[in-house]
Structure 1
Amino acid sequence: MADQLFDFGLIGLGVMGRNLLLNMADHGFAVIGYNRSPQKVTDLENEITPGTTVKGTSDLKLFVNSLKSPRRITMLVQAGKPVDDVLNELIPLLSKGDIIIDGGNSHYTDTLRRVQYMQEKGFHFMGMGVSGGEEGARRGPSIMPGGDPEAYPHVKPMLEAVSAKVNGEPCVAHLGKGAAGHYVKMVHNGIEYGIMQLISEVYDVLHRGYGLTNDELHQVFKEWNDGELQSFLVEITRDIFPKVDDKTGNRLVDMILDKAGSKGTGKWTSQDAMDLGISIPTIDIAVSMRNLSALKQ
């Protein structure tokens, strides 16, 4: 495998990156992953599906030189300065026309800046939202790419292959130039915040207001998920009610601290809507409720 050239490369072998890379390999693409941590490389190699072509390395130069031209590299690293740090390490190793995709939750203004910066140096840069979490990355996420339309045909077959499918159609589309992909992902996450807050309030009214037991709540959410309210969020809410806490024997939902964290994308949606003069009260309140819950001990 030492002299082999790979179809796609991925930087950042955390769970999301590792799963997405393995997903690519399962669909017939020869892939190589890079991480500075040798342990992350080992974790990747321990999960390779037999018969697929996957390599891991902690050598960035080897990683870049092992890719077919034009190089197609996806980054799944923490948003902010780490993305710029990786780009600055990559640039001296790249060739004109290479394609870099940021698959993390970068703010769209950062993506706009990077698109321009990379374009001036002769490279293609795309911002790409990935939805579905760790399991989605492995089995089929919803993918929201944006950026240079000239670059998209080079990555479209792979993205359509690894994406989730609905009625046989891939859950991926090029959403526009610049930072369109990351902008749509930001709004997507804001909408998700609103839906989760609605689910939380419905649970609270039915449980504390109407006195429904966990078994009764399970049945209510089951009926909703069997109808027009069917969704991943309703499904996982349905499934939590019967689960038992291993330590106490009580229902798990009754043992969970009512406290939510945040990565900031919902807040960005609210902030941008305010800047644009657009009213999104459901999302605004959902962001505020998350902030309030984060104060709980």
Structure 2
Amino acid sequence: MERADIGLIGLAVMGQNLALNMNDHSFKVVVYNRTATTTDKFLNGPAKNTTISGAYSLAELVVTLKKPRIVMLMVKAGAVVDNLIKQLLPHLETGDIIIDGGNSLYKDTQRRTKALSEQGIRFIGTGISGGEAGARFGPSIMPGGNPTAWMEVKPILQAIAAQVDGEPCCQWVGENGAGHYVKMVHNGIEYGDMQLIAEAYHLLREGLKLPVEELSPVFAQWNQGVLESYLIEITSQILKVTVEDGSLLVDKILDTAGQKGTGKWAGIDALDLGVPLTLITEAVFARCLSSLKTERMKSALLLTSDKKTFVGDIKTAIAAIHDALYASKIISYTQGYMLMREAAREYSWNLSYGDIALMWRGGCIIRSQFLNKIKQAFDNKPELESLLLDNFFATEIKKAEAGWRKTVMLGVQLGIPTPAFSSALAFYDGYRSEYLPANLLQAQRDYFGAHTYERVDKPRGQFFHTNWTGQGGQVSSTIYEV
């Protein structure tokens, strides 16, 4: 019996398409799904004329695999993954490999890698981006976990990944939870990009009152320049679709956005690590605010104000919105890379930031030509602290700054919310400020909580406390050394 190269568990759309992708690249795949009828439908449908075979128990799946056995899980993140691993373990041997290809929280991957290593099983947690089409024809794949397993799974994962300029959008990210962490940041940037595009659409549609037929061409034109990306491309396509009365289909869709949690995870981790991930976090909150539809309808009746009408040159305003979108996109990636940098310090990961940009160039949702510039920035300076300290990005954001500010002011004047544009601009102004009013914050903290402070006229590392309510109105200071 010819044994299979890999076993895949979970035949939802992503699992099915990955199995077909592997088959296209001459890997022999055996699949298993908890519901046998799903397996049968797949084998007799999409996989009918392939070499893909089916198993109807975990034991049957494992016994058909080459050694070391490679089993890929494409199931719902969380307890389902843990339960499935528990069921698999009695059938596996030392050196076998489990790949979790779902959207798992990186901390779960950290835990699973360690626990399984102690049992002789090698675990890989890999982020996969690209949706259904990516899974079928080439996604971006971000593997991390047990490094000894990488050479075993590398031929399969790199073969099925998207290819850009002859390079696979799949490289080893790092140990333990590094792969799923990078996927989490990818998804956070995705949240940010989508919110920025939505705000641009809102300003064009409701602020400038562009006719329906002019919306799609604006995004199509933007897709020919520095904003070229998958998300801009599909936005131009979405804005072409009309219904029977000639109105846009998108205007018929209820304005409440869902989320699966990865953007939220990025925001939570940024707070834990002290990284100002303001744009991405605002994008998550914007979705939360959108869900308050009933309350928003009530407040729209109660919290009325005089409606302002745009006055000015339409073409100039559209150009300004373009620049705001571009500048804010730079901020989104800047913050995402800052978060990865801090996580690498925290977890002792050796992340290759240029390779991460390469992995995101094809297959994934945030793919864009913009990522080539990020790769170049880290090629020029591997230890680059921030994209804003790279000459290219510093120059680009300065060129876009005037339009960015005009766009934020336009939103304020017209009463159109721009949380992502605005928070990005606030971050930019804060990041480039030699002075911030945190001295007053620290004085307040010392006043009510004796939290101490450093002084500008003393060496860093010397801490002071003031008796702010001293005798006779006089204050006294005591130096604390650390």
Measured against the shorter chain, the TM-score band is: over 0.9
1:86-165 equivalences in 2 (<5 Å):
86-165=84-163
1:1-297 equivalences in 2 (<5 Å):
3-45=1-43, 46-48=45-47, 50=49, 52-245=50-243, 250-296=247-293
Amino acid of the structure 1 residue aligned with 2:64: S
Give the Å deviation of 1:153: 0.5
Give the Å deviation of 1:249: 5.5
Alpha-carbon distance between aligned partners in 2 of 1:197 and 1:10, rounded to the nearest angstrom: 34
Larger radius of gyration: 2
Alpha-carbon distance between aligned partners in 2 of 1:161 and 1:178, rounded to the nearest angstrom: 23
Amino acid of the structure 2 residue aligned with 1:47: P
Alpha-carbon distance between aligned partners in 2 of 1:258 and 1:116, rounded to the nearest angstrom: 43
SS of 1:48's equivalent in the other structure is coil
Alpha-carbon distance between aligned partners in 2 of 1:44 and 1:245, rounded to the nearest angstrom: 34
Backbone CA RMSD of aligned residues:
1.2
Deviation per residue, 1:169-206 (Å, 9 max, x gap): 11001000001000000011001101111000000001
Aligned residue-pair number: 293
Query: In the alignment, what sits opposite 2:407?
Result: none
Alpha carbons 2:212, 2:247 under 8 Å: kept: no
Deviation per residue, 1:188-232 (Å, 9 max, x gap): 100110111100000000110001123211111001111121111
Alpha carbons 2:8, 2:73 under 8 Å: kept: yes
Alpha-carbon distance between aligned partners in 2 of 1:49 and 1:181, rounded to the nearest angstrom: 33
Alpha carbons 2:239, 2:250 under 8 Å: kept: yes
Alpha-carbon distance between aligned partners in 2 of 1:113 and 1:226, rounded to the nearest angstrom: 44
Alpha-carbon distance between aligned partners in 1 of 2:183 and 2:258, rounded to the nearest angstrom: 18
Alpha-carbon distance between aligned partners in 1 of 2:242 and 2:2, rounded to the nearest angstrom: 49
Give the TM-score normalised by structure 2: 0.60
Whichever structure has more helix as a proportion of its residues is: 2
SS of 1:144's equivalent in the other structure is strand
Give the Å deviation of 1:49: 6.2
Give the Å deviation of 1:57: 2.4
CA spacing shift, 1:225–1:49, aligned 2, 3 Å: farther
Alpha-carbon distance between aligned partners in 1 of 2:12 and 2:162, rounded to the nearest angstrom: 21
SS of 1:200's equivalent in the other structure is helix
Give the Å deviation of 1:39: 2.3
Alpha-carbon distance between aligned partners in 1 of 2:283 and 2:135, rounded to the nearest angstrom: 26
Amino acid of the structure 2 residue aligned with 1:109: K
Amino acid of the structure 2 residue aligned with 1:261: G
CA spacing shift, 1:48–1:289, aligned 2, 3 Å: same
Give the TM-score normalised by structure 1: 0.96
Give the Å deviation of 1:166: 1.1
Alpha-carbon distance between aligned partners in 2 of 1:239 and 1:167, rounded to the nearest angstrom: 26
Deviation per residue, 1:18-46 (Å, 9 max, x gap): 11011000110000111011222023211
Alpha-carbon distance between aligned partners in 1 of 2:132 and 2:293, rounded to the nearest angstrom: 27
Alpha-carbon distance between aligned partners in 1 of 2:83 and 2:139, rounded to the nearest angstrom: 26
Amino acid of the structure 2 residue aligned with 1:270: G
Alpha carbons 1:44, 1:56 under 8 Å: kept: no
Alpha-carbon distance between aligned partners in 2 of 1:293 and 1:165, rounded to the nearest angstrom: 37
Q: More deviation in 3-12 or 117-126?
A: 3-12
Alpha-carbon distance between aligned partners in 2 of 1:215 and 1:33, rounded to the nearest angstrom: 47
Identity of counterpart residues, as a percentage? 52
Give the Å deviation of 1:158: 0.8
Alpha-carbon distance between aligned partners in 2 of 1:128 and 1:257, rounded to the nearest angstrom: 33
Amino acid of the structure 2 residue aligned with 1:284: T
